[in-house]
Amino acid sequence: MYYIGIDIGGTNIACGIVDEDCRIVASAKVKTNAPRPYEEILGAIKQSVRAACEQAGIKPSDAECIGIGCPGTCNRESGTVEYSNNLGFVNAPVGRDIEAEFGVKTYLDNDANAAAFGEFVAGAAKGSRNAVVITLGTGVGSGIIIDGKIYSGSNFAGGEIGHTVIVVDGLPCTCGRNGCFEAYSSATGLIRMTSEAAALNPESLTARLIEQDGRVSARTAYKAMKQGDETGKAITERYVKYLACGIANTINIFQPDILCIGGGVCNEGDTLLLPLKKQVAEQIYSKNSAKNTKIVICSLGNEAGIIGAAMLHRG
C-alpha cells in the first residue's frame, strides 16, 4: 500500500511515494519557480507526482491517497490554499485540482503542520500523544499535535508560534508585528545578531571568519565560540536566551509530551541543546512536575514534509 506526499516549497516541489511503514521508497523534485501563475505551479506539482510514481513503478491511481503540504493558510475542508504570500496563491484550489487530475482522495494542510506530523508519525515525536515541532529556518515554522491530531484552529491558521511576541516593541517582523519569536530565534535572526556583533567587534574571530568565508551563516557564531571567541560566545548565549523564552512560553501553553526543534542550527547538537534545556527548565511553570516536556532535535530532516503530507489522512 502506497501514499503520495507532496511538499511544496518556495524553491522546490518535492514528491515522495511512502509505504505503510512511513518510508519513502521513491521521490522526485522539480523547481517551484515562484512567483508565477497558479496554473504553472499546479503543472509542476503534477509533474512531480508523475515522476515519483514512475520511479516507484506505480501509477498515481495505485496510491491510497495523496497529501499536500503547502505554505500559507490551507483550508483542509475545501482543499483550498486561501492565502500564501510565498507562492502568490489566493483561494487556490490545489487539493481539489490534484484530486481531479489523478482521481485519488487528496488531503491538504500547511507545510509546517505536515512536517510536524511527519515527526509525529515517524520521527522524533513518534510514540507521543501531544507534541509541538518548531523549525528554525528563514522563519520559525511550527506545528501542534493534540491527541494525535493536527491543531490549526477554527480558521486553519492556528499554530503560528513564530508570530508570538517575546520582546514588546522589539525588532520588526515580516508579519508586521514587532518583537516576534521569529525575529529573534530564526536562523535569519541569528545571522543578523552575528553580523551586528562582528561589525561592533572587527578584531574578533567571528568577524575574521565572516571575512574568510565571504558570508555569514547561522553557524558562524557557534564556530567562533568553539574556538574560544568571546564575541561568538556572547552571540550564542544571547540567541539561546531568546530561543528558551519562546520555547518556555510554548510549553507553558500546551504542556506537550515532547517538543522537537529542527533546522540547520540544530546541527550543533548538544552545544545548542544543553544550555537551551537548562534555561527552559528554569522558566517553565511546571518546573516541579515529575513529568515535564522532553526537548529533542528533529530526526527526519527534509523528509518530514513528504512523510507528514503522505500521512495527512491520519491527522
pLDDT of residue 315: 83
Query: What 3-state class would DSSP assign to 85?
Result: coil
- Regarding beta strands 294-297 and 140-146, do their DSSP bridges make them parallel or antiparallel, or are they unpaired? unpaired
Residues 83, 202, single domain; the answer is no
Query: Pairing between strand 131-136 and 140-146?
Result: antiparallel
290 has a pLDDT exceeding 70: no
pLDDT greater at residue 287 or residue 43: 43
131 and 271, same domain (yes or no): yes
Q: How many angstroms from the chain centroid is the CA of residue 195?
A: 24
Sheet containing strand 89-92, edge to edge, reads 73-75, 80-84, 89-92
One domain, residues 116 and 185: no
- In the structure grid, which three cell numbers stand for residue 50, read together? 508523475
293 and 307 in a single domain? The answer is no
Q: In this structure, are residues 227 and 193 in contact, taking their beta carbons and an 8 Å threshold?
A: no
288 pLDDT more than 90 = no
Residues 236 and 278 in one domain: yes
Taking Cα atoms as reference points, which of 308, 226, 209 lies closest to residue 267? 226
Indicate the number of domains in the chain. 2
- Which residues 6+ apart lie within 8 Å of 204 measured at CB? 197, 198, 224, 229, 230, 231, 232
The position carrying cell 508560534 is 161
User: Do 13 and 55 fall into the same domain?
Assistant: yes
Residues 99 and 215 in one domain: no
What pTM does this model have?
Answer: 0.93
Is the pLDDT assigned to residue 289 strictly greater than 80? no
The set of residues, in sequence order, having a beta carbon less than 8 Å from that of 241 and lying 6+ positions away, is: 279
Which whole number is the average pLDDT over 283-298? 88
Tell me: the pLDDT tens digits for 84-101?
A: 988 999 999 999 999 999
Local confidence band at 286 (pLDDT 50, 70, 90 cut-offs)? confident
**One domain for residues 108 and 241:** no
Residue 269 and residue 142 share a domain: yes
Q: Both 133 and 253 in a single domain?
A: yes
State residue 222's pLDDT score.
98
Q: What is the pLDDT of residues 156-198, one digit of tens each?
A: 999 999 999 999 999 999 899 999 999 999 999 999 999 999 9
Owning domain of residue 248? 127-297
Residues 6 and 74 reside in one and the same domain: yes
Q: Which three cell numbers stand for residue 102?
A: 489523478
Q: What is the pLDDT of residues 25-73, one digit of tens each?
A: 999 999 999 989 999 999 999 999 999 999 999 999 999 999 999 999 9
Q: What percent of the chain has pLDDT over 70?
A: 100
Q: In this structure, are 230 and 146 located in the same domain?
A: yes
CB 114 within 8 A of CB 313: no
Check which CATH number belongs to the domain holding 232 and give it. Answer: 3.30.420.40
Per-residue pLDDT averaged across 140-168, rounded?
96
CA 297: distance to chain centroid?
12
